[in-house]
Amino acid sequence: MKLIEVKDLEKVYQDGEVKTPALQGVSFGIEKGEFVAIMGPSGSGKSTLLHILGFLDHSTKGEYRFEGKTINDYSKNELAQIRNKKMGFVFQMFNLLSRTTVLENVKLPLIYSDIKESLWNEISLKAIEQVGLSHRVNYETSQLSGGEKQRVAIARALVNEPSIIFADEPTGNLDSKSGGQIMEIIEALNDKGQTIILITHETYTAEYSQRIIKLRDGAIESDERVLERKHTHKDHFVK
C-alpha cells in the first residue's frame, strides 16, 4: 500500500460566477520513505496540492488516499489528529512564536498529542539535537538567524515522529549557505527513512530529491526520477 495515492484530482475555486481551475486531473502515488519534489512556477497549483495532501483543504473532484483511507473516511477531529500526529509541516515563513524559546516552540505540537507531559522535554531536546541546535535551546527564536529559525521549524515538525514531512519552499527566505544546511538536514532525514514532500520552484533544491513532479497550469507536466541527485556533505546533523 502506498502512503499517498492521488487519482484524477481536481480543484476549482469559485467566486460568484467565475470558476478558476487550480488542479486538473492530477494522479500519482508516493511510497513510504520517498523524497519527492513538487515543482512549478507561481500559479501552477503547488500550494493548492500541498493543502489538499496536508488535509488543509478538500479537492473538488477525484480521490486522495492517505495510508489507504480517503479524507471522507475521517471526522474533523480525526483529520486534526492526523495532521498533528502523522504530518509535519515546514513553511517558508517559519511560523514560530517569536518571544518564546526554541524548546517551547518545538514542544508545541506535543500539547495536542496523547504523549505524557513528563516526556515532552526529552522528546523535544532529541529533535533539537537532530537539527544541530542544542546550543540554542533556551534562546528566544527572535534571537536566531533565518537558517536557525528554519531548523527550529524542522525540529518542531519532527517531535511527533510523523509519517510524512511537507516542506513548503523551506529555503525560500534563506541565503545559499543556510539553504544548503537546511537541505542537508532534510536529505539526512530521508536517508533515515523519513518520507519527504518538498514544494519548490527551484531546480537546484528539487534535485536533492529522488523524484520530481512538475506542475504547469494545474496539471502534471512530467513525473521523473532524478538520475543525478545533488548531495550535501553529511556530518553533524540528524543522528
What are 43-69's pLDDT values in tens digits?
A: 899 999 999 999 999 999 999 999 999
Top-confidence residue, 74 or 239: 74
Q: Give the chain's domains with CATH numbers.
A: 31-57+71-234 (3.40.50.300)
* 141-165 average pLDDT score: 93
Who contacts 25 (Cβ-Cβ below 8 Å, separation ≥6)?
8, 9, 10, 62, 219
Q: Which amino acid is at 140?
A: E
Q: H or E stretch including 144?
A: none
Q: Which of 31-40, 106-115, 208-217 has the lowest mean pLDDT?
A: 106-115
User: Residues 223-238: what's their mean pLDDT?
Assistant: 68
Please, what is the end-to-end C-alpha distance for the chain in angstroms?
A: 29
Cβ atoms of 151 and 180 within 8 Å: the answer is: no
Sign of the dihedral through C-alpha 135, 140, 142, 143: negative
- pLDDT category of residue 94 using cuts at 50, 70 and 90: confident
Does residue 232 have a pLDDT over 90?
A: no
Residue 239 confidence class, pLDDT cut points 50, 70, 90: very low
* Whole-Å CA distances, 163 to 32, 51, 85, 128, 181: 8, 16, 8, 19, 23
Q: 228 pLDDT band (50/70/90 cuts)? A: confident
pLDDT digits (tens, 9 = 90+) for 99-123: 899 999 999 999 888 889 999 999 9
User: Is the pLDDT reported for residue 217 higher than 90?
Assistant: yes
Q: Which residue has the cell 506535543?
A: 110
Q: H or E element: which one contains 16?
A: none
Question: What does the DSSP 8-state code read for residue 234?
Answer: -
d(CA 204, CA 229): 10
pLDDT above 90 for 229? no
Q: List phi, psi (to 5°) of 30.
A: -130, 125
Torsion of CA 55, 43, 2, 109, to 10 degrees: -40
Q: Is the confidence at residue 231, as pLDDT, over 80?
A: no
Taking the CB of residue 125, how many other CB atoms lie within 10 A of it? 17
pLDDT higher than threshold 60 for residue 25: yes
